[in-house]
Amino acid sequence: MSKSLNIQFENGVRFLVRHFPPSVATSRKPILFHDIRVGTYLYERGYPEDVVMAGLLHDAIEWSSATEDMVRDEFGATALRLVLANTKDDTIEDKYEKTDELIRRCVKNGQDALIIKTADILDSFKWYASQDNQGELGYCMRNANAIFRYKESDFVDPIFDELAIWKEKFEHLGQ
């Protein structure tokens, strides 16, 4: 845990606070805290700085006023590439097609991009399970199934084992 990563992480949180709208009671989940948990999960497990920062910022383009140029200028081209790999394409209307396209894009961008998406889905599983939100747990299952369907065989990391446990726990939801 380097001091420079700690400072960079803090800068990332400040960046998100400036650009995210506040969560409200009708929000699916408090997005800022979700993003902080994803970044913290990756940080605590010793992932590289770009992975940690992109995990923290993974929703910045999709849900905030931050632009690609802002993310690149503040956090670098690699972090931006990983964030963009994890950004949904809202021009795709079918939820299954949208999920599959996102996961395939993460795989195309490499194991680091898929690790970030997996950390995102793990946190979502934990949050929606704590809220007993069956509909959103179905969303998590759809993503987990796509991750395992498209993950390259040489993408080997303990995070995928953890996702398999959550996937098995909610297998009854299908998706």
Number of domains in the chain: 1
Residue 74 belongs to domain with CATH number? 1.10.3210.10
List the chain pLDDT tens, one digit each, 175 residues: 689 999 999 999 999 999 999 988 878 899 999 999 999 999 999 999 999 999 999 999 999 999 999 999 999 999 999 999 999 999 999 999 999 999 999 999 999 999 999 999 999 999 999 999 999 999 999 999 999 999 999 999 999 999 999 999 999 886 5
Domain that holds residue 108: 3-173
Please count the residues of the chain.
175
Residue 156 sits at φ, ψ, to 5 deg, of -120, 120
Cβ atoms < 10 Å from Cβ of 93: 7
The reported pTM is: 0.96
pLDDT given at position 174: 67
Structure tokens, 35: 């993003």
pLDDT given at position 175: 57
AA identity, residue 131: Q
- The CA distance from 115 to 118, in Å, is 5
